[in-house]
């Protein structure tokens, strides 16, 4: 086993995709319910191209999926367990004495 094994590369790509405040926000919203890009744009307060780029990063790593519904593309969280890391990060911050 080496650091260049495919599983480490895949895990690093997923963590890298999640390592942005806006993408974490998107994942939180998708955990609550599925959304189209226009709804996410309104929630985030950014332009359509920026939100679409964030969605593309998440989709390319397999964290989210999308489906067409009428004239909209609806995005959903593919595997909600990916957000279990929030609990771990919160616990780590508590042990370090950081803000919650």
Using DSSP, state whether 19 is helix, strand or coil. Answer: coil
Phi/psi region, residue 10 (left: phi>0; alpha: psi -120 to 50; beta: rest), is alpha
State pLDDT tens for residues 11-25. 899 999 999 999 999
| pLDDT of amino acid 3 | 75
Question: Which domains, and CATH codes, for the chain?
Answer: 6-96 (1.10.10.10)
User: 21, 76 in Cβ contact below 8 A?
Assistant: no
Calculate mean pLDDT across residues 23-32. Answer: 95
| pLDDT of amino acid 71 | 92
pTM score of the predicted model:
0.86
State pLDDT tens for residues 36-90. 999 999 999 999 999 999 999 999 999 999 999 999 999 999 988 888 888 888 8
| pLDDT of amino acid 39 | 96
| pLDDT of amino acid 99 | 63
User: 64, 77 in Cβ contact below 8 A?
Assistant: yes
């Amino acid at each position: 086993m080496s650091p260049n094994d495919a599983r480490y590369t895949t895990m690093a790509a997923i963590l890298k995709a999640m390592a942005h405040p806006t993408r974490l926000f998107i994942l939180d919203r998708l955990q609550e319910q599925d959304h189209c890009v226009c709804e996410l744009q309104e929630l985030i307060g950014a332009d359509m191209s920026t939100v679409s780029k964030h969605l593309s990063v998440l989709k390319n790593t397999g964290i989210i999926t999308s489906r067409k519904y009428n004239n909209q593309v609806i995005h959903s969280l593919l595997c909600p367990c990916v957000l279990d890391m929030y609990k771990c990060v919160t616990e780590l911050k508590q042990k370090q004495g950081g803000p919650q």
